[in-house]
Structure 1
């Protein structure tokens, strides 16, 4: 069994209204010194098998086809 974590974030330059809202809420709650917030998503997956190279290839294909909108999002894959 291979465990993996995929992290998807907006590309630099893409507006992030949810991140701005979170930043504003943090300031309203008294958390000073937060310059900016960018939000993203994390997927934890468990894959059958033990071939890490094959798993990484499959995970990248999953990101390209479903998990990330590669026009506006970047992703990273980590075997954990």
Structure 2
């Protein structure tokens, strides 16, 4: 939806959007954008399906928060 709203499906737009999302993640999930978080033995190694769903919800919140930080044009 965010890419459609921007009217751009380029790799650079996706990278910018994901980076903003990862930068906006807070608390226990702040490291979700770093490869060490997902590496074997890392934080994600010990999560079950329910916990991964919580991570997904937190990333959705961070994505919304990051997209609201941009200037609004009239």
Rg larger in 1 or in 2? 1
What is the TM-score with the length of structure 2 in the denominator? 0.34
More strand by share: 1
- Relative contact order, CA 8 A, sep 6+: which one is greater? 1
Higher helix share: 2
